[in-house]
Structure 1
Amino acid sequence: MPLNIFYREPNPDRWLKFDRYPRQLIRRIIRGRPRPGGVMMVALELLKGLDILKIPYRFNDFKYICKHPNELACIIGKPQLLFDKKWKNPILFGAGVFSHPKDCPDLFDKYPNVKKILVPGDWMQQMFEKYYGSKVVTWPVGIDTQKWHQGIKAADKRFDFLIYDKIRWKHNHYNDTLVKPIKDHLSLSGKTFSTIKYGAYTHAELMQKISVSEAVIFLCEHETQGLAYQQILSTNTPILAWDRGGMWQDPSYYPDKVKFEPVSSVPYWDKRCGVKFTDATNFISGLRTFINKQQNLEFAPRDYILKNLSLEVCAQKYVDIALNVIAGLP
């Protein structure tokens, strides 16, 4: 039986009824074709994985699902797709959901037909379980290992490191206490580096910078899954990762509404991927360890991705979750 998969970007009216349509056209003319965001990539990469596995699916077939109210509806997100339509079907919801259960504490009261909610990583599952219990399941979307592959690497690397800066909050503080000390130490150690900032590059630009770099230093407060660093790993590029741990830092919630710990910047990881450090001081010993392991050829990051996070591996996990939900339906 084909899966019934749904995804739609939010596009609300802003000033007048139906003004979303001319606004959408104007945006397209001014900005060009929009790049897929993180949640849209979840939907697109899942479909790619299903195609590889030759697993049939219907995509956004609302007419069909309305006529078959007993079939499972798989709503990738975003939440408005669940909230705005009167679904009669049992629902597998996620992984493109809201940031915290406080945004919808009565989810399973309002929508009892939601059977499971998917979140992209283990620490997020633990955060959600306090509110939603056993209905929360971890599911990561897969990485396109045919696109992100080691063949993009240049024979002669210009840089020892690419610094990937995804620090989202208190950037001035972290620039002074983390980024600048890292750069200073690299320079003093005779290591060359370039930088790239989250939200200010295309995939082609990231690939080009990875291609001429031996390794990557990944800087981010925390990740629910971390598609970018996993794409980097898929090119067989090892990572020296800032994994500060501690509290979830999203200022929309912390510290007034939510205090949750521990979080991780690299929630999918093992020793094949690289080395982690916690702060600027710890970076010095982490760098030393990283270089030693790199010289001893101890890293195999692409192997980790192929075995755990490829398109087909993650698509099969999604199918298994959906089948388990279907098996439990009355």
Structure 2
Amino acid sequence: MSYNICIYYKLEPEEDKFFKNDYIVRRFLRRLLGRQKIGGIGRVYLNLLKSLKELNIQFSINKPFHKLEKNDIPIVLGRGKHCLKGYNQPNKIIAGIALMTHPSEWPDLCKEYPVVKYLQHSKWANEVYVKYYGNQICDTWFSGIDIEKWKPASSERKIDFLIYQKFHWDIEKKTEELLTPIISKLKENNYSFDIIKYGNYKEKDYFKKLSNTKALLFFSEHESQGFACCEAMSMNIPVLAWEQGLCLDPNRFRWNDPIIPASSVPFFSEVCGMTFKDSADFNDVLPKFINKIKIDKFQPREFIKKHLSLKKSGLRLIEIIETVYNEYY
């Protein structure tokens, strides 16, 4: 290859809470106590590095902007406008995933900086950005799943369902109208279950729970990729997912984008599991789902291996990079 890949990963600077520079102390204590958690964009970054390493592709990390050379292609991940602060180079930029929550928060991104590709994981998320940046700039790139790490457990799985709860908004209402009736239905049918809540666990705890469960009951308003769901599928765990079909972020009204078609399982097919719209639909779908498990209809790990492996993610990014390089360099 005649280009060099330069990965940039920057998060929003932490602010002081109690005294000057106390964020440094808080960060140190989180690491000391083992409470430093990897968020979604952090996982995207780490899995990107794994993907490139698997393909034996060299790259640099956070190379100072002023040291960029002619054939360097910057790939900018992170959160917030500070990710590109101080960038005044001619090198074309591939950016994306989470620089902003909605393009209305940075409509002039591609005018302020030479961004020639803005990436989102899935089709529905990409469509949101197309309205602002156009089809030529917007594109999709999925983050790879480490299928060697997330492998099926060798021991017998004893719990029927692991309930994954990721409610961001109207939590009390969703719990009362959706989750509680569904839990009652599981109890009525004598299905055992465990519950894990987004943001309240460590990765090793999730892995341990998945290793002991037969199926994942997935509750999330929407996902651009859905790492937790994909990781469960990589362990060959069938998924029964709540899929109501819209972005429910209340900020959508502020964005002047009130109706955004979305998905909680954007990477999914009939071999991965089934979906339901509400508690009433769940009652109809549950016996069908259980029956398909009994006759071994689901093979979610094969889906992940075919579509979302680290290698395939890396190859997809290289495809995007070569398009940019051939067009602009």
Name the counterpart of 2:119: 118
In 1, the alpha carbon distance for the partners of 2:154 and 2:138 equals 39
1:165 Cα deviation after fit:
0.6
Name the counterpart of 1:44: 46
1:173 Cα deviation after fit:
0.5
CA distance 1:27–1:297, change in 2 (3 Å)? same
**1:44-63 equivalences in 2 (<5 Å):** 44-62=46-64
Name the counterpart of 1:243: 243
CA distance 1:219–1:3, change in 2 (3 Å)? same
**1:143-158 equivalences in 2 (<5 Å):** 143-150=145-152, 152-155=153-156, 157-158=157-158
Name the counterpart of 1:266: 265
2:285 is paired with a residue of what secondary structure? Answer: helix
**1:1-330 equivalences in 2 (<5 Å):** 1-11=3-13, 14=16, 19-20=20-21, 23-29=23-29, 32=32, 34-62=36-64, 66-69=67-70, 71-88=72-89, 89-111=91-113, 113-134=114-135, 135-150=137-152, 152-155=153-156, 157-246=157-246, 248-254=247-253, 257-330=256-329
Given that residues 4 and 72 in structure 2 are in contact (C-alpha distance below 8 angstroms), is that contact kept between their aligned partners in structure 1?
no
> TM-score scaled by structure 2?
0.92
In 2, the alpha carbon distance for the partners of 1:153 and 1:97 equals 40
Aligned CA RMSD, in angstroms, stands at: 2.1
Given that residues 50 and 310 in structure 2 are in contact (C-alpha distance below 8 angstroms), is that contact kept between their aligned partners in structure 1?
yes
1:208 Cα deviation after fit:
1.3
Q: Summarize deviations over 1:82-106 as a string: whole Å, max 9, x none.
A: 4312231210012232111110111
In 2, the alpha carbon distance for the partners of 1:153 and 1:81 equals 45
CA distance 1:171–1:153, change in 2 (3 Å)? farther
2:96 is paired with a residue of what secondary structure? Answer: strand
Q: Which amino acid aligns with 1:66?
A: K
Q: Summarize deviations over 1:1-57 as a string: whole Å, max 9, x none.
A: 4311111222255589xx55x522343135535222211111111001111110111
In 2, the alpha carbon distance for the partners of 1:260 and 1:181 equals 27
CA distance 1:166–1:67, change in 2 (3 Å)? closer
- Which consecutive unaligned segments of at least 5 residues does structure 1 have? none
1:329 Cα deviation after fit:
0.5
> TM-score scaled by structure 1?
0.92
CA distance 1:253–1:207, change in 2 (3 Å)? same
1:164 is paired with a residue of what secondary structure? Answer: strand
In 1, the alpha carbon distance for the partners of 2:229 and 2:253 equals 25
1:282 Cα deviation after fit:
0.2
